[in-house]
Amino acid sequence: MQTEQSILDSWQVNAAPWSKAIADKAIESRQLVTNAAIVQAITKLQPASVLDLGCGEGWLSRALKAELPQASIKGVDAIPALIDAAKNLSTAIDYTVASYQDIIAGALHDAQYNLIAINFALFGDELVRDLLETLRKHITEGGHLVIQTLHPVVACGDLPYQSGWREGSWAGFSSDFKDAHPWYFRTLEDWLALFLHCGYHIQSMQEPLHPKTGKPASVILNCIIE
Ligand SMILES: C[S@@+](CC[C@H](N)C(=O)[O-])C[C@H]1O[C@@H](n2cnc3c(N)ncnc32)[C@H](O)[C@@H]1O
User: Residue 1 pLDDT > 80, yes or no?
Assistant: no
Give me the percent of the chain exceeding a pLDDT of 70. Answer: 100
Atom 9, ligand 1: which residue's CA is nearest? 56
100 alpha carbon – ligand 1 mean position (Å): 10
Does position 3 have pLDDT exceeding 90, yes or no? no
Over its C-alpha atoms, the chain yields an Rg (Å, rounded) of: 16
- As a whole number of angstroms, the distance between CA 150 and CA 184 comes to 11
| pLDDT score recorded for residue 61 | 98
Q: Identify each DSSP E strand in the chain by its residue range.
A: 49-53, 72-77, 94-97, 113-119, 139-149, 164-166, 183-185, 200-206, 219-225
- In this structure, the residue with its CA closest to atom 4 of ligand 1 is 56
Q: What is the pLDDT of residues 162-192, one digit of tens each?
A: 999 999 999 999 999 999 999 999 999 999 9
Burial class (CB in 10 A: 0-12, 13-18, 19+), 67: middle
User: 43: domain range?
Assistant: 2-225
The Å distance, Cα 57 to ligand 1 centre, comes to: 9
In this predicted structure, the answer to whether residue 2 has a pLDDT above a threshold of 80 is no
pLDDT digits (tens, 9 = 90+) for 100-134: 999 999 999 999 999 999 999 999 999 999 999 99
- Tell me if the pTM is above 0.95: yes
Q: How far apart are the first and last CA of the chain?
A: 29
The total number of structural domains that make up the chain: 1
Q: What is the largest CA-CA distance in the chain?
A: 46
Length of the chain: 226
* Average pLDDT value for residue range 60-71: 98
Q: Give percent of the chain with pLDDT exceeding 90.
A: 97
Write down the mean pLDDT value for the chain.
97
Q: How confident is the model at residue 50 (pLDDT cuts 50, 70, 90)?
A: very high
**SS3 sequence of 43-72:** HCCCCCEEEEECCCCCHHHHHHHHHCCCCE
CATH assignment at residue 51: 3.40.50.150
Compute the distance between CA of residue 74 and CA of residue 219 in angstroms, rounded to an integer: 23
